[in-house]
Structure 1
Amino acid sequence: MTTGVRRRMGVEERRQQLIGVALDLFSHRSPDDVSIDEIAAAAGISRPLVYHYFPGKLSLYEAALQRAADDLADRFVEPMEGPLGVRLLRVMGRFLDFVDGHGPGFSALMRGGPAVGSSTTNAMIDSVRQAAYIQILAHLGITDPPARLELVVRSWISLAESTALIWLDGRRIPRAELELQLVHDFAALAAVSAAYDEEMAGILRRILAEEPPEGPFTELITRLIGLVPQEQSS
């Protein structure tokens, strides 16, 4: 709801305002349930003026989706400092910050929303996944990943997406636990791959060698050892 004297905006400034308003509405409700009239009212302008800047709801939706995609991709950017497990934990914290704050919008981004199946939406989703993939490889210090490592990283990114979508339906697992579980999922996928491939085993050994006693990967190992019956572990 707007108050006070309206200020005339330039074309690009008004477009960016409408994108921000639409993204805020899409973040709290399904884009299918948000009308152009609501977007216009929230922006403090008339419905015809919205159409002056965007030819239709789909084009505005795609512009808002692009901003959300850029924001989500930025969540995977992390300084190359400290052990990998701690870095991934910070990344997952920011990732779930986005998911938690943009529930319907995140679902729309991952599922396509009103633009499901469109080449534009698919390209946005792929760009987020590729940005995340490149960032994880950078943290591993690898530019030319072997096939099994590519499989691990891309599988983990898909797992994080699907886990977040399921979690949004009721948020039945505490968020902090889910962040840690996702980091453990990465280690688990890497460990299974390492059991079949010596190159992956070398990568995993290097990761674990840099892991502190209180790190998330060490915690996973401790938890797994605790699951082994005493007569088998002795």
Structure 2
Amino acid sequence: MVNSARRRLSVEERLDQLVRVGVELIATQPWDLLTMMDIAAAANVSKPLLYHYFSTKRDLYVAAVGSAAEQLRHATRPDPTARNELQRSLEAHVDWIEANALGYRTVLQGGVSGDPEVQAIVEQSRAEVVDRIVRGMALQRPPPALRIALRGWVGFLEGACLDWLRVGDIPKAQLVRLLAASLPAAIAVADR
């Protein structure tokens, strides 16, 4: 006889499961159109259980955006053994964006992206990109012009990726080359 009883998840496991479902939903469906009932059904939990962990849809959204940002940071983490770290990191970045296109667009352009907590997560992710570049240049603190150039390049990275997702008229490899070539140009202009 097969035991069909489901194991009860710990608080941490359940929270992780719900956040994972939130990340999946952000990546595949317009968040504004989802209800808590839809989310509970996708997670295969009751609506009251979902509310036990997240009192509002916004709370789950913020947690899911934070988790997605961490996934992107992890996917693009520096690899000191990589021959061309910039190329590898940008390929991983674009691969992640491609796999999470709707969520990426939603976070950067969607209505709920105006949420202060979501903006803080996005800002932290942008700052991490700049910090990684600065560390790769073996600098403690970038001069103001370099900092501005790098922040501008991060905006270019986001804008180029959003355009590529929307229009898709160049191959992914060409997008990565464009992004990789533009960073040294931004750095060079800052040095003038």
TM-score of the pair, normalised by structure 1: 0.75
Q: Does 2:144 correspond to 1:151? A: no
> Quick one: distance in 2 between partners of 1:169 and 1:133?
25
Q: Does 2:122 correspond to 1:135? A: no
Q: 2:96 aligns with which of 88, 94, 98?
A: 98
Q: Does 2:77 correspond to 1:77? A: yes
Larger Rg: 1
Cα-Cα RMSD:
1.8
* Contact 1:160–1:182 (CA under 8 A) maintained in structure 2: yes
> Quick one: distance in 2 between partners of 1:148 and 1:54?
42
Structure 1 residue runs of 4+, over 4 Å off?
A: none
Q: Percent identity?
A: 31
* Contact 2:107–2:113 (CA under 8 A) maintained in structure 1: no
* Contact 1:80–1:139 (CA under 8 A) maintained in structure 2: no
Structure 2 equivalent of residue 35 of structure 1: 35
* Contact 1:69–1:109 (CA under 8 A) maintained in structure 2: no
Tell me by how many angstroms 1:82 deviates.
6.0
Amino acid at match of 2:44: G
Tell me by how many angstroms 1:5 deviates.
4.3
> Quick one: distance in 2 between partners of 1:150 and 1:12?
38
Q: 1:122 aligns with which of 114, 119, 123?
A: 119
Tell me by how many angstroms 1:73 deviates.
2.5
> Quick one: distance in 2 between partners of 1:40 and 1:114?
22
Gaps of 5+ in 1: 198-234
Structure 1 equivalent of residue 183 of structure 2: 186
Q: Does 2:87 correspond to 1:89? A: yes
The alignment partner of 1:116 has SS state of: helix
> Quick one: distance in 1 between partners of 2:48 and 2:167?
38
Tell me by how many angstroms 1:114 deviates.
4.7
> Quick one: distance in 2 between partners of 1:33 and 1:102?
18
Q: Which moved more, 1:120-129 or 1:46-55?
A: 46-55
Superposed CA deviations along residues 193-228 of structure 1, whole A, max 9, x for unmatched, are: 34xx2xxxxxxxxxxxxxxxxxxxxxxxxxxxxxxx
Q: Which moved more, 1:150-159 or 1:122-131?
A: 150-159
> Quick one: distance in 2 between partners of 1:132 and 1:57?
29
Q: Does 2:167 correspond to 1:170? A: yes
TM-score of the pair, normalised by structure 2: 0.90
